[in-house]
Amino acid sequence: MRETEKIWMNGELVDWADATIHVGSHGLHYGSGVFEGIRCYETPRGPAVFRLTDHLVRLRNSARLLYMDIPYGVEELRAATLELIGANGLPECYLRPLAFYGYGELGVSAGSNPVETVIMSWPWGAYLGEEGQREGIRAKISSWQRVGPNVIPHVAKATGIYLNSMLAVSEANRAGYDEAILLTAEGYVADGSGENIFAVKDGTIYTPALSTSILPGITRDTIVQIAQDLGYRVVEANLIRSDLLLSDEVFMTGTAAEVTPLRSIDDIELGVGPVTLEIQGAYLDTVRGRSERWAHWLEYAAPATAGA
Ligand code: PPE
């Protein structure tokens, strides 16, 4: 991780090195936190955060599912995020808001612990590599099942749930693959360790429904709308692994991963196809402020320079 100057912590900007917590913090012991991953892009009108408010609303909803009251509202966190971007002065960055139960009682029940709220920002390039984004990555179906809706609410972007992702991606990496695809207990395709998944077959685009233990990805929602606007039929479907293996194209989406093609799954070659490349191009045009159609998704960090 490349260090930046400041971190926003509980209402103020502190130096990177000073953003520390006690080892007795609840969130460290039990994974009791919620977080977001957001990207700020350089655009012709200055740095713009992609769908910032939507991400912060998801953060609030994630907290609600963990009985957690974040002491800052969406509007306050929005202002804090923009302030941090200004303070660190990077044209592009990844943003990581995080709220977790802090130091107080130990023991699983977190009722009386304070909630700590932070926002970090740092430069983060292509999540699955520049080459992966261009030439596609090699994925493996995981032996680990995606956490089910009655295990941990998968619509919450909760820190503890990421042990599931960590195991899956570690298994895949150790076996020589770039990324894992997790299935539900019933065998339906859910998502990647940090991405949603799409399959293209005979010109139609398929993606697992929100009920299939997936994170309701903001990039997923973006891609559905962009693809429909480009004239594609997008269908939410229960997909099994062979649906992926017999698709014409498969790609993954996420804030960090953007749109990344899967060139093979379990060593069955798929290659990188034209629909994926068209959608990838349209997505990058959108986040980089080159599309009027979706301009409302960009939240500018420095309104003073807007239109300059
Ligand atoms: N599924 C999972 C499991 C997931 O973690 C992400 C985001 C997505 C789908 C896509 O969601 P969205 O970003 O809203 O389109 N994963 C974050 C990276 C995780 C990591 O820290 O590594 C991200 O992309 O920011």
Ligand 1 atom nearest to 222, measured from its CA: 15
Which residue CA neighbors atom 5 of ligand 1 most closely? Answer: 194
Q: Which atom of ligand 1 is nearest to the CA of 157?
A: 5
- Given this model, what pLDDT does residue 128 score? 85
Is 302 part of a structural domain of the chain?
A: no
pLDDT for 95: 98
Confidence of residue 306 (pLDDT cuts 50, 70, 90): very low
Q: What is the pLDDT of residues 108-142, one digit of tens each?
A: 998 899 999 999 999 998 888 889 999 999 999 99
141 φ, ψ (degrees, to nearest 5): -70, 130
Residue whose CA is closest, atom 3 of ligand 1? 194
Residue recorded with tokens 């009722």: 111
Question: Ligand 1 center to residue 216 CA distance, Å?
Answer: 9
Within-domain flag for 83: yes
Q: d(Cα 6, Cα 17) in Å, to the nearest integer?
A: 9
Q: What is the pLDDT of residues 245-298, one digit of tens each?
A: 999 999 999 999 999 999 999 999 999 999 999 999 999 999 999 999 999 999
* pLDDT per position as a tens digit, 9-47: 999 999 999 999 999 999 999 999 999 999 999 999 999
Active-site positions? 157
279 and 183 within one domain: yes
Give the position, in ligand 1's atom list, of the atom nearest the Cα of 36.
Answer: 25
Q: How many domains does the chain have?
A: 2
Give the helix/strand (H/E) hosting 63.
helix 52-65
Domain membership flag for residue 98:
yes
Kindly state the tokens that stand for 217. 């990805």
For the chain, the first-to-last Cα distance in angstroms comes to 32
pTM attached to this predicted model:
0.96
pLDDT above 70: percentage of residues in the chain = 98
Say what the pLDDT of residue 303 is.
56
- List, chain by chain if needed, residues with CB within 6 Å of any ligand 1 atom: 37, 165, 191, 194-196, 215, 217-220, 253-257
3-state secondary structure of 85: helix
Specify whether 91 is located in the same domain as 189: no
pLDDT recorded at residue 120:
98
307 Cα: distance to centroid of ligand 1 (angstroms): 31
Last-in-domain residue among 71, 90, 122: 122
Q: Read off the pLDDT of residues 190-217 as tens digits, 9 standing for 90 and up.
A: 999 999 999 999 999 999 999 999 999 9
Residue 168 binned pLDDT confidence (cut-offs 50, 70, 90): very high
Q: Are both 235 and 203 inside the same structural domain? A: yes
Distance, CA of 100 to CA of 159 (rounded, Å): 9
CATH, residue 283: 3.20.10.10
**Ligand 1 mean position, distance from CA 194 (Å):** 4
- Which of 122, 157, 180 terminates a domain? The answer is 122
> In angstroms, what is the span from residue 165 Cα to ligand 1's centroid?
10
The mean pLDDT of the chain is 95
* Residue-number span of the structural domain to which 194 is assigned: 130-287
| Long-range residue pairs from 111-118, CB within 8 A, at least 24 positions apart, any chain | 111/67, 113/26, 115/68, 115/69, 115/70, 115/71, 116/9, 116/10, 116/21, 116/25, 116/27, 117/9, 117/10, 117/11, 117/70, 117/71, 117/72, 117/77, 118/7, 118/8, 118/9, 118/10, 118/19
The CATH number covering residue 37 comes to 3.30.470.10
Mark whether 181 and 279 lie in a shared domain: yes
Q: How far is the CA of 255 from the centre of ligand 1 (A)?
A: 6
Ligand 1, atom 18, lies closest to the CA of 194
Determine the atom of ligand 1 nearest the C-alpha atom of 94. Answer: 25
